[in-house]
Structure 1
Amino acid sequence: MKIPQQHYRCPLGRLQPRATNLEAIKQSGWRDQYILVVSADDDRLDWMERELLKRIGERLYGEKGVSND
């Protein structure tokens, strides 16, 4: 008679984080607090929108790759 071996279940396994839906967090951030998180390389944007984001980012935070330390 073969008895299946029981696998040890680590009690820490239930503490591992679950995958987060980042798009849902971004969406609720915009709807609740008007915080916009978007990449200038997002495929959903056209050229003009990407350029506008790039210019806003450079105005607020400086050029990419340049340290302001």
Structure 2
Amino acid sequence: MKRFPKGYGGERRDPEQVKRDGWHEQGLLAVSVEDDRLTWPERELIRQLGEKLYGRRDGGREVHHG
């Protein structure tokens, strides 16, 4: 029987669980501006923070970094 290092093989975590763990363990927040659980003012705040930290989104076209 092969043994794999932690994180290799086995069960794959749900993306929401990855986000939740990132918040609880590292204080990282991954949020979509289109998340229906947020109110309009909350989505607008997320959009403004994203633009302040990373610049405006490119309207759905591919973004090139570098």
Instruction: Mark yes or no: TM-score above 0.5.
Output: yes
Higher helix share: 1
* 2:20 is the counterpart of 1:27: yes
* 2:55 is the counterpart of 1:62: yes
Measured on the aligned residues, the alpha-carbon RMSD in Å equals 2.0
Q: Which has the larger radius of gyration?
A: 1
Using CA pairs under 8 Å that are at least 6 residues apart, name the structure with larger relative contact order, 1 or 2.
2
* 2:33 is the counterpart of 1:36: no
Q: TM-score, normalised by structure 2?
A: 0.69
Q: Which runs of 5+ in 1 are unaligned?
A: 1-15
Percent identity among equivalent residues? 43
Distance apart, 1:27 and its partner CA: 0.4
Q: Post-superposition, which runs of at least 4 consecutive aligned residues in structure 1 deviate over 3 A?
A: 16-20, 66-69
